[in-house]
Structure 1
Amino acid sequence: MTTFQATRLVAARELRAKLRDKAFIFSTLSFLFILIASIVVPTLLESGPTKVAVTDTASVAPLQQAGMEVQQVPDEATAEQLVRDGEVEAAVVAGPRVIALEDAPGDVVDALSTAPPVELLDAPAFNPALAIFVPLAIAMLCYITSLLFGLQIAQSVVEEKQTRIIEILVSSIPPRALLAGKVAAMTLLAFAQILVLTVIALVGTTMTDIDSGLLTALRPALGWFVPFFVLGFIMLAAIWAGTGALAARQEDLGSTSGTVQMVVLIPFFAVIFLRDNAAALQFLSYFPFSAPMAMPIRIFQGDAAGWEPFVALAILALTSVALLAVGARIYEGSLLRTNTRTSFATAWRSRSTVS
């Protein structure tokens, strides 16, 4: 059996195992449910246009132009009664005066107010609130997926060591083929999950009243997010497998994987808290561990020059190759040490025992 055939065999085995895993299926369905709910629920909660009772005919036109549902009534007493009965949210009577039940209806007051026209020289292409939400969503998606799937790789390696199955596997399959198969399978599953979530999000936003400007800004950001995420995940996957191999039992995994968890956690918080700092975010978009989050965010915000993603992706690719070699060496050097937890230095020196 060639190394490629062995890798494909291991990857197929890992895929079958995960697709039958109830915890994996439940987590995937939970992500889908949360995403669909975040799109559907706000739409369902929308109460429609504001209903306003009007006695002052001069107020009808500005209220209708503001998208409100206007109900003309003959007198102030009728308008006030409609407000008390909850039939309308406010009433506009002679004066003009606005009548409401408990809170001042700001949208009605704004519609009746006279304001000078405003010309924006650099108008945003979409709702400014989305400029905060989208970067958070990109960073969260990258962080959670890398952490969850990375931990699953480490747990799978520990399980094979703890049950001594690894000794049987290594007798017929090279350790590097085992590692490559696990990394390939988990990368494919992580990418498939993100792809499904992205498609649902795009379809859902298309079906709702979302700004077309947002979709225009999202497309290049999501297009670049794919290669950045795949390379970033591969970079970390081998390290996750190596830290899993350092542990002899599931109880050891917390201590052996602590460093790699910080490698995932710290860049995430750096991107979140420094996303409004242009210089810091530019640096983070080139730093390999934060580039899969920071560069797509800069592309979405329109702050990245056309050549920058290519340079950042090249740096990420070179780092991925280097860390794949490090992860493979740690994995090979600690794979058959099943009696106790293995130190990093011992695993690095012991590579030749399983090669």
Structure 2
Amino acid sequence: MSTQTPARPAAPSLAQSTWLVAEREITMRLRSKTFLISTAILLLLVLASIVIGGFIAQNSSDDTIPVAVVGTADQAIGDAAGLDVTDAASVEEATELVRDGTVDAAIVPDDSTPLGIAILAETEVPASLVAQLSVSPPVTLLDETATNPFLTYLVSLAFGIVFFMSAMTFGSTIAQNVVEEKQTRVVEILMSAIPVHALLAGKVLGNSILAFGQIAVTAALSIVGLTIIGQTELLTGLGMPIVWFVVFFAIGFVLLASLFAATASMVSRQEDIGSTTTPVTMLVMLPYFAVVFFNDNPTVLTIMSYVPFSAPVGMPVRLFLGTAAWWEPLLSLAILLATTAVTIWLGSRIYQNSLLKMGARVKWGEALTS
């Protein structure tokens, strides 16, 4: 009597292996109290910053408003309180005071209007200025295409926070998970069942899905916050920049996630993660600080929009400001795609060459050439 040996189940394909790892990553993160609490804190901070910023902007209308006054236009001020008046000898001098930021607006004579006066302002008129005057004159903006500086800062801060927090949260998670699996030898079991490339791809895919989900919830809360403070014009202008931000972030996060996984595989202890991932961490931090401190500097923003690691923040901000030509996002995206492809290849090589090496930190030359 013969016995038949049961057929061995077919090995999972590369796609199936990748999804198994991705599903495992997602499940582990969603069961982590630390991840859930940190996500909740991030969402509360985003919502609070938007709402508080809006209230501060609204309350700022109660402060003293610096204005320049030319000649007989001072009659329009009357006994108005809350104005810090600077006398100007001519309309040209008053205009210069407005342009250099010395005053928020200028009240000048204008015989072409029935009231005989007009207001000059750079990008917007202080909310309470017209109401404090004894008459309501016509308003002329010196730069009608400029964006409200407060809104520029708010949008830059929002893009910067989302990029920074999402990249750091999930990037550090990937790094810690790689080292933990290597330190406990779990990676040896995983590599016996699935290809190394599938292991790396699954980690990047799983954490990317979580990152995009976090961004979606953050965007929804941002819309709620902007609605609460009445910034409906800002919501309208943010449509296309948000779309481009999602596209740039999707590709840029894959780039950063690959680097976090690759550099973490070069060490065998949690305490040593910082020794190899610090350069990647700096690539995440620099765009955040740059967009916060230089959101009003067109040169810095232009450079940021073409550097792959900062393009996910720099280009959307430029699109919101209207300073980027139609072809610039496409060129920047092409540069980011090419850089990401090269980074994935290098990261995969480092990951594969370093994952099974225990003990001392793997040197860069050894990780790239083994």
TM range (shorter): 0.7 to 0.9
1:166 maps to which of 174, 187, 195 = 187
Alpha-carbon displacement from aligned partner over 1:113-163 (angstroms, at most 9, x marks no partner): 557532125436864311222112212221221122111110000000111
User: Cα–Cα, structure 1 residues 107 and 5, in superposed 2: closer, same or farther, change >3 Å?
Assistant: closer
Q: What residue in structure 2 maps to residue 187 of structure 1? A: 208
Confirm whether residue 282 of structure 1 aligns to residue 302 of structure 2.
yes
Q: What residue in structure 1 maps to residue 230 of structure 2? A: 209
Deviation larger for 247-256 or 136-145: 136-145
Q: Secondary structure at the match of 1:304?
A: coil
Q: What residue in structure 2 maps to residue 84 of structure 1? A: none
Q: What residue in structure 2 maps to residue 16 of structure 1? A: 27
For 2:291 and 2:130, how far apart are their aligned partners in 1? 40
The 5 A counterparts of 1:32-181 are 32-39=43-50, 111-113=132-134, 116-120=137-141, 122-123=143-144, 127-181=148-202
Confirm whether residue 30 of structure 1 aligns to residue 41 of structure 2.
yes
Q: Secondary structure at the match of 1:248?
A: coil
Deviation at 1:249, TM superposition (A): 0.2
For 1:264 and 1:42, how far apart are their aligned partners in 2? 25
Q: Could you say what the CA RMSD is over the residues aligned between the two structures, in angstroms? A: 2.7
Q: Secondary structure at the match of 2:359?
A: coil
For 1:252 and 1:149, how far apart are their aligned partners in 2? 18
- 1:235–1:323 contact (8 Å) kept in structure 2: yes
For 2:261 and 2:53, how far apart are their aligned partners in 1? 41
Alpha-carbon displacement from aligned partner over 1:176-201 (angstroms, at most 9, x marks no partner): 10000000011111111011100121
Amino acid aligned to 1:2? S
- 1:228–1:313 contact (8 Å) kept in structure 2: yes
Deviation at 1:273, TM superposition (A): 3.3
Deviation larger for 339-348 or 236-245: 339-348
Deviation larger for 257-266 or 180-189: 257-266
For 1:167 and 1:311, how far apart are their aligned partners in 2? 42
Amino acid aligned to 1:243? T
Confirm whether residue 325 of structure 1 aligns to residue 345 of structure 2.
yes
- 1:126–1:214 contact (8 Å) kept in structure 2: no
Q: Secondary structure at the match of 1:320?
A: helix
Alpha-carbon displacement from aligned partner over 1:35-63 (angstroms, at most 9, x marks no partner): 3334556789989x99xxxxxxxxxxx99
**TM-score, length-scaled by structure 2:** 0.73
For 1:108 and 1:117, how far apart are their aligned partners in 2? 12
**TM-score, length-scaled by structure 1:** 0.76
User: Cα–Cα, structure 1 residues 176 and 109, in superposed 2: closer, same or farther, change >3 Å?
Assistant: closer
User: Cα–Cα, structure 1 residues 285 and 42, in superposed 2: closer, same or farther, change >3 Å?
Assistant: closer
- 2:251–2:336 contact (8 Å) kept in structure 1: yes
For 1:25 and 1:116, how far apart are their aligned partners in 2? 54
Confirm whether residue 295 of structure 1 aligns to residue 307 of structure 2.
no
Alpha-carbon displacement from aligned partner over 1:83-116 (angstroms, at most 9, x marks no partner): xxxxxxxxxxxxxxxxxxxxxxx96996255575
User: Cα–Cα, structure 1 residues 178 and 32, in superposed 2: closer, same or farther, change >3 Å?
Assistant: same
- 1:164–1:338 contact (8 Å) kept in structure 2: no
Q: Secondary structure at the match of 1:246?
A: coil
Question: Which runs of no fewer than 5 residues in structure 1 stay unpaired?
Answer: 51-61, 64-105, 351-355
Confirm whether residue 260 of structure 1 aligns to residue 289 of structure 2.
no
Q: Secondary structure at the match of 1:340?
A: coil
Deviation at 1:4, TM superposition (A): 0.8
Deviation larger for 257-266 or 216-225: 257-266
The 5 A counterparts of 1:294-313 are 294-313=314-333
Amino acid aligned to 2:21? V
For 1:36 and 1:133, how far apart are their aligned partners in 2? 12
User: Cα–Cα, structure 1 residues 259 and 127, in superposed 2: closer, same or farther, change >3 Å?
Assistant: closer
Question: Which runs of no fewer than 5 residues in structure 2 stay unpaired?
Answer: 1-11, 63-78, 81-126
Alpha-carbon displacement from aligned partner over 1:207-260 (angstroms, at most 9, x marks no partner): 4422x3211221111111000001000011111001110110001101111111
Deviation at 1:309, TM superposition (A): 0.7
Amino acid aligned to 2:13? T
Q: Secondary structure at the match of 2:139?
A: coil
2:242 maps to which of 201, 222, 226 = 222
Deviation at 1:2, TM superposition (A): 0.8
